[in-house]
Amino acid sequence: MAQLLASATLVWQYVLGSILILLAIALVLLVLKQSGKEKGLSGTIAGGADTFFSKNQSKTTDKLLSKLTIIGSIVFVVITVALVIIVSMG
């Protein structure tokens, strides 16, 4: 029975570890896709041809990316805590 429990614990460690690696890569990509909060003069000069709709589209995309980053970070922390608990048990 103890060997079965150790085997199941090892499987969960691999599964959660793999999810953590994929989630870490996804979080890095989400952060890199977000535009900076301050665009300065270069954004004003270079972005003169932007229409009203394209400016609003980028704002909604940034909001979506921001929400996904927050949700992904929370899931990352929860999975990390679960993995620490599983490792400390076995």
Locate the domains of the chain by residue range. 53-90
Q: How far apart are CA 32 and CA 69, in angstroms?
A: 11
Query: Rounded to two decimals, what is the model's pTM?
Result: 0.71
How many residues are given for the chain?
90
Predicted local confidence at residue 52, as pLDDT: 58
Q: Is 20 exposed, middle or buried (0-12, 13-18, 19+ CB in 10 A)?
A: middle
Instruction: List pLDDT tens digits, range 22-60.
Output: 999 999 999 999 887 665 555 555 555 555 555 666 678
